[in-house]
Amino acid sequence: MSGHGGQPFPLSKLAFMYVKKVAQPIASRIARKAEKDNWFKTYICLPPANLYHFYEAKIKFKVMNIGRTRISKVPKLNEKAAIELGSNLCAEFIIMSVASILALHEVRKYKAREIEVEERLNKETKDLSVFWIPEKMLQPIFLYSLLLVLCIKKNVNLYICLTCYTQNEQHYL
């Protein structure tokens, strides 16, 4: 725990509070839809609420040691509380899904940019690659003709190529 108020991750708590606050209008619309539409209430809103309530109660009973015997039946939520819980869960799921999709999109864009930069660098290094000339091909006639071809291909002045090569006396171009 941190020394500032006992909260281990205050920013995460703030983020979840923000999600809950943003999800409230969506949750109220889902609750209104569930009250009007029986199919939506039965198959979309109530199952996540009942599942959440079941596991929440099991965990609470186990942690608080209520009833040392195994609990066989968790008390059911009334319909109004289940609709409210289910609509909150659905709204938070929608908000988190949209945020996750946006984050995934940004990661993919970043990776595509990185790949593009690396491909560009590979192309540039390939264009600037060093030519190696075997020893037996270092005869003056062959060497000057090779320099001439390379200089013409790279649009470089032949005089500059020959001067650089003869001053450095290297076997690489």
Return the SS3 of 167. helix
Backbone φ and ψ of 136, nearest 5°: -70, -15
pLDDT digits (tens, 9 = 90+) for 142-172: 556 666 666 665 655 544 444 444 444 444 4
* Whole-number Å distance between alpha carbons of 43 and 91: 15
Q: What is the pTM of this model?
A: 0.61
* Whole-number Å distance between alpha carbons of 18 and 12: 10
CA pseudo-torsion sign 23, 28, 34, 37? negative
Q: What is the pLDDT, as a whole number, of residue 144?
A: 60
Q: Which residue has the tokens 């500059």?
A: 160
User: At residue 34, does pLDDT exceed 50?
Assistant: yes
- The amino acid present at 32, given as its one-letter code, is R
The three-point CA angle 89-64-90 to 5° equals: 0
pLDDT digits (tens, 9 = 90+) for 50-83: 999 999 988 888 887 765 666 667 888 999 999 9
Q: Which residue has the tokens 């889902």?
A: 30
